[in-house]
Every structure is written in structure tokens, then in C-alpha cells.
Amino acid sequence: MKTLHIKVFGKVQGVGFRYFTERLALQYHITGTVQNVDEHVEIYATGNETLSQFEQAVIRGASPMSKVESYTSEEISPQPFNRFTTLK
């Protein structure tokens, strides 16, 4: 089990990015959170084999209206999430 802390920058707020990220998390069996923070979206994602696939799907643009300009991703100590949640 691994956890990634991902920050996504660009046109990612007000375009359904969090909603589509949550749908991708369900598709890839990922637990964690997604939320808007300042000028970016912050994601904590925990999973196994599908974690890197989830990360790439998010970066390709979780929402049709979004435009990812840059991102950071780092592995952190595993976080025990029960499900994937959109935070306000």
C-alpha cells in the first residue's frame, strides 16, 4: 500500500476537476481525498497496483474542461483512508 501527495496546477478549479478525480478514484480503487487549495488542487491517494495509473489519468486531465499546466507528486507514509472523498 502506497500513498501519494499530488498537487495539480493550471485550470483545475471551477471546471469539475475534483468530481472527475473522485470518479477516477472509484474506477481505480483508490482511497483518499481531493480538495481545492489556493490556486491548485491537492490530492492524497492511497492504493496498490493501480495507483500510478490513477495518477497518470488525473494528470492527463480528470475533467474535459481542465488544463493541467504542472504538478508535483511525492510518496508519503501510507495513510489509512476508508474511501475517496471530496473535501470543501
Task: Kindly name the residue from 18, 60, 82, 83 that is annotated as catalytic.
Answer: 18
In a domain, 84, yes or no: no
In a domain, 88, yes or no: no
CB 43 within 8 Å of CB 21: yes
Residue 71: CB atoms within 10 A of its CB come to 17
Q: What's the rounded Cα separation, in Å, for the pair 13 and 29?
A: 24
**Can you give the CATH number for the domain in which 20 is found?**
3.30.70.100
Strands (E), the chain: 2-11, 31-37, 40-47, 67-76, 84-86
What's the pTM? 0.95
In a domain, 13, yes or no: yes
Q: Is the pLDDT at 49 greater than 80, yes or no?
A: yes
Confidence bin at 4 (pLDDT 50/70/90): very high
In a domain, 86, yes or no: no
- Residue 36 is a catalytic residue: yes
Query: Average pLDDT for residues 22-50, to the nearest whole number?
Result: 97
- Full domain range(s) for residue 64: 2-79
Structure confidence at residue 64 (pLDDT)? 84
In a domain, 85, yes or no: no
- Residue 18 is a catalytic residue: yes
In a domain, 44, yes or no: yes
In a domain, 87, yes or no: no
